[in-house]
Amino acid sequence: MNLSRVTVEAAYAQLESEGYLRRESGRGSFVAITLPVSAPRPRADRMAHFSQRGHQILATGGCQDVPFPYAFSAGSPDLRAFPHPLWRRLTARVQRTAGPGVMGYGDPLGYLPLRHALADYLALSRGVHCEAEQVIILTSSQQALQLLSLMLIDPGDKIWMEEPGYAGARNAFLAAGARVRGIQVDAEGAIPQAGTAKLMYLTPSHQYPTGVSLSLPRRLAWLDWARRNGSWLIEDDYDSEFHYDDRPASALHGLDNDNRVITLGTFSKSLFPSLRLAWMVVPGPLVAPLGRARSLLDGHSALLPQAVTAEFMQQGHFASHLRLMRQLYHSRRDRLLEQIAQRLTPWLRPFPCPGGLQTTVALRQGDEAKLSLQAEKMGLLLPRLSPLYGDGARQQGWILGFAALTPDEIVAGCDKLVRLLSSGSSPNRR
């Protein structure tokens, strides 16, 4: 049979492990006296019976960022521009100096040096003044929303959020059995409302997906609403690192004198998504309860990535990287807006885009869903705008990511977009 000794030995070892052979040193291999029981015949799959909460979770459709290497994937940083050699050196250094210390179990609240580094960074760049002990390290902002939903929301609670708004937040609240109400957004951000709710979810620095910033009068109004009603404000500090036309306003957290604001953010946009690190700043009385609850979810975030990220921040590399990325993404933002103005205005109306990794455009005419499906066949991803609305009227459009694309890739993507839209209908120049 011309088989190697290694192959034959592997076959015998497999038969022995499955109970078909017994091997005796110096004597040989023999068929086992008692053979293993034959595997049972597979039975037909039965429909699983889920709990009420399980059905609520399934009804949301989940939340997943599909990897897509082409234009116009939204919310994606340019991983080609990341300082990979530096990250490898820091990783090797941490492994060399910390050794087994970053290979075991960790604190559910997070690696303390990283919490200190984040507290320093947030105070300097975002006006968030907190103790390191108030910072909780998580795997994602979505996990932060899930944790808060588990601990703060009862089935039937009224929850408010911006509309249009982040679908991941809506899904987390719906999965907890909440009644979610969309709060309209205008040029100054979410419009303050009369009435009460358990909490309000806001993206005040860079509203997703409209791009507007919450004005100071609106910030003060929402803080007053939270104080009067004993409600929580969840501040998702989305894309706050990337403002191009002016300095970003300080975080809402810095104006809070009543401990009603919970601020969260992620490293997925500022560093890279597979790092799986995010953070949350909470009032002191919530720290220990949220830590215990987090320990039941996944224990803690991986220690090695936390330790490397702490080194990256403490040595000043994080601030340097953000400066470089702001310049890079600023030029790419300008390139995309230029292409839209010169070639796509008959079909698309851009929203304001003072920052972020994507720009939102309204579709003047045509079917958003059908056009998105046609675009996929052309190797073009057009993340849809209308699913970010609740039950009311929905604006059709797309969220066009630019940060991960070179200028040439942006132009090539717009070439395909022009072909797609010009083949579908005559332009509308209103």
**Tens digits of residue pLDDT in 366-425:** 999 999 999 999 999 999 999 999 877 799 999 999 999 999 999 999 999 999 999 865
Range scoring the smallest mean pLDDT among 5-9, 61-65, 122-126, 194-198: 61-65
Look at residue 430 in the predicted model and tell me its pLDDT: 44
Look at residue 248 in the predicted model and tell me its pLDDT: 77
Has residue 208 got a pLDDT over 70?
yes
Burial class (CB in 10 A: 0-12, 13-18, 19+), 244: middle
Has residue 59 got a pLDDT over 80?
no
The proportion of the chain whose per-residue pLDDT surpasses 90, expressed as a percent, equals 76
- CATH pick for 87-316 out of 3.40.50.720, 3.40.50.740, 3.40.640.10, 3.30.1330.10: 3.40.640.10
Q: What mean pLDDT do residues 1-25 have?
A: 80
Please provide the CATH number assigned to the domain covering 319-422: 3.90.1150.10
Look at residue 249 in the predicted model and tell me its pLDDT: 83
Lookup: tokens for 68: 């897509």
Which of 255, 271, 30, 311 minimizes the C-alpha distance to 126?
Answer: 255
Tell me how far CA of residue 105 lies from CA of 189, 301, 418, in angstroms. Answer: 42, 9, 53
Query: CA 4, CA 266: separation in Å to the nearest integer?
Result: 52
Lookup: tokens for 275: 């790092």
Greater confidence (279 vs 28) lies with 279
Look at residue 173 in the predicted model and tell me its pLDDT: 96
Mean pLDDT taken over the chain: 91
Lookup: tokens for 218: 């609106």
pLDDT tens, position by position, 268-324: 999 999 999 999 999 999 999 999 999 999 999 999 999 999 999 999 999 999 999
Which of 15, 41, 18 minimizes the C-alpha distance to 29?
Answer: 15
Instruction: Identify the band that residue 22 occupies on the pLDDT scale cut at 50, 70 and 90.
Output: confident
Instruction: Identify the band that residue 429 occupies on the pLDDT scale cut at 50, 70 and 90.
Output: very low
Which of 148, 109, 129, 162 minimizes the C-alpha distance to 259?
Answer: 129
Look at residue 37 in the predicted model and tell me its pLDDT: 66
pLDDT tens, position by position, 91-123: 999 999 998 888 999 999 999 999 999 999 999
Instruction: Identify the band that residue 35 occupies on the pLDDT scale cut at 50, 70 and 90.
Output: low
Radius of gyration of the chain (CA): 26
Range scoring the smallest mean pLDDT among 39-53, 166-180, 299-313: 39-53
Query: CA 335, CA 244: separation in Å to the nearest integer?
Result: 13
Look at residue 417 in the predicted model and tell me its pLDDT: 96
Query: CA 398, CA 386: separation in Å to the nearest integer?
Result: 8
Q: What mean pLDDT do residues 159-180 have?
A: 96
Query: CA 191, CA 215: separation in Å to the nearest integer?
Result: 10
Q: What mean pLDDT do residues 183-204 have?
A: 97
Query: CA 426, CA 225: separation in Å to the nearest integer?
Result: 47
Greater confidence (317 vs 13) lies with 317
Query: CA 322, CA 324: separation in Å to the nearest integer?
Result: 5
228 phi and psi, to 5 degrees?
A: -65, -35
Inter-residue contact 137 to 114 (CB < 8 Å): yes
First to last CA, the chain: 77
> Hey, where are the domains in the chain?
87-316, 319-422
Query: CA 285, CA 279: separation in Å to the nearest integer?
Result: 17
Q: What mean pLDDT do residues 53-59 have?
A: 78
Inter-residue contact 18 to 10 (CB < 8 Å): no
Residue for token digits 């939102």?
A: 360
